[in-house]
Structure 1
Amino acid sequence: MKSSKRRLAALVAGVGIAPLVTVVLPATSAWAHGYVSSPPSRQAQCAQQVVQCGEIQWEPQSVEGPKGLQSCSGGNSRFADLDDDSKAWKPTSVGSSVTFNWTFTAHHSTRSYEYFINGRSIGKFGGNGSSHTVNLGGVTGRQKVLAVWNIADTANAFYACVDLMVQ
């Protein structure tokens, strides 16, 4: 009987302390759930209501899908608006290189970041940085860059497309 009471007391104490430990312990430098906020990605434009979109306007950080895809929606049908090139996406004017800045909303570990134009790799970065300067490889005119954030401990990645006008 005493053993059961002790276990119950330990369980109650553990449940009560867990939220405090979560808040007090320092966060790691790795992240999860995120999107390119600058230059504004398609989901950032949806969240800012620059372009009218569906559900993505409420959760721009949630474009997650299996690694290896080449779609703005990450294969997620809820966010299919992001794959629609006929929408009025506002391109950002840039030179021959551009710095992509990610906004993160939750912690997770990172394997790499990759950037593509028309399926061609234009940059790959390791580590947990939130800013990457990418050489656009000599392209000019209107371009769509696919930014992919490969997380380390799942089979998924986060996807963001950024519309650019390269001078």
Structure 2
Amino acid sequence: MRTKGKLYAAVLGLATAGAFVLSTGGASGHGYTDLPISRQLLCADGTVRGCGEIQWEPQSVEGPKGFPAGGPADGQLCSGGETRFGQLDGARTPRGAEWPTTKVTGGQSYTFRWQFEARHATTDFRYYVTKQGWNQGHALTRADLNTTPFLTVPYGGKQPPATLSHSGTLPTGLSGHHVILGVWTIADTGNAFYACSDVTF
């Protein structure tokens, strides 16, 4: 009986350890924007369906840093160049609908917010927006964007808290549907994290 009890305890211990490894296997996971809500979070919270793997990993849109001179290729900006998250790059959702948008007003202050599942030493956060009259019929490219960020938040190599908010003034002269590309640049790796948020000015 004692042997069976020890065996049961050992098996239970292994199962618990295995569950812990699985639950923390998202150590590859990092962060995403929820203000304005990003495409990856719309997929993760079930608002947009048919998104594939990103629905379980909204924090994992990681690609090369150095945007706009470097970074992901045109047409892969919203997925960070991760082909398994390619549904984020579509001009429409995977089921053919328009991407849901957040209403914003040009010239007004807006609070951007990131949620982090793994915090990294950070160079900065940069925000880009599409030009007026951009081509909405294809996956986002540099030509669609004003490649000068409308907001840059330096972070001096510090690690952000689990939730980070910062405010900036939204550009003027824009109307209708636009995409804001948020880029979180990591200080001590060659990568950055990318988040596309659809907005209506």
TM-score (norm 2): 0.63
Q: Classify the secondary structure of the residue corresponding to 1:82.
A: helix
**1:35 match:** 32
**1:65 match:** 63
- State the Cα distance separating 1:54 from its structure 2 match: 1.0
Q: Which stretch has the larger CA shift, 141-150 or 124-133?
A: 124-133
125, 146, 168: which one aligns with 1:134: 168
1:89 aligns with 2:95: no
Q: Classify the secondary structure of the residue corresponding to 2:103.
A: strand
1:51 aligns with 2:48: yes
93, 108, 112: which one aligns with 1:100: 112
1:79 aligns with 2:79: no
- State the Cα distance separating 1:107 from its structure 2 match: 2.4
**4+ residue runs over 3 A deviation:** none
- State the Cα distance separating 1:95 from its structure 2 match: 1.5
Unaligned runs of 5+ residues in structure 1 are 1-31
Paired with 1:133 and 1:63, the residues of 2 have a C-alpha distance of: 23
**1:26 match:** none
Q: Which stretch has the larger CA shift, 151-160 or 81-90?
A: 81-90
Counting aligned pairs with the same residue, the percent is 46
Unaligned runs of 5+ residues in structure 2 are 1-28, 131-144
TM-score (norm 1): 0.76
Q: Which stretch has the larger CA shift, 111-120 or 41-50?
A: 111-120
- State the Cα distance separating 1:117 from its structure 2 match: 1.1
- State the Cα distance separating 1:165 from its structure 2 match: 0.8
Paired with 1:80 and 1:107, the residues of 2 have a C-alpha distance of: 24
RMSD (Å) for aligned C-alpha atoms: 1.6
Paired with 1:114 and 1:124, the residues of 2 have a C-alpha distance of: 4
Q: Which stretch has the larger CA shift, 134-143 or 102-111?
A: 134-143
**How many residues in Structure 1 have an aligned counterpart in Structure 2?**
135
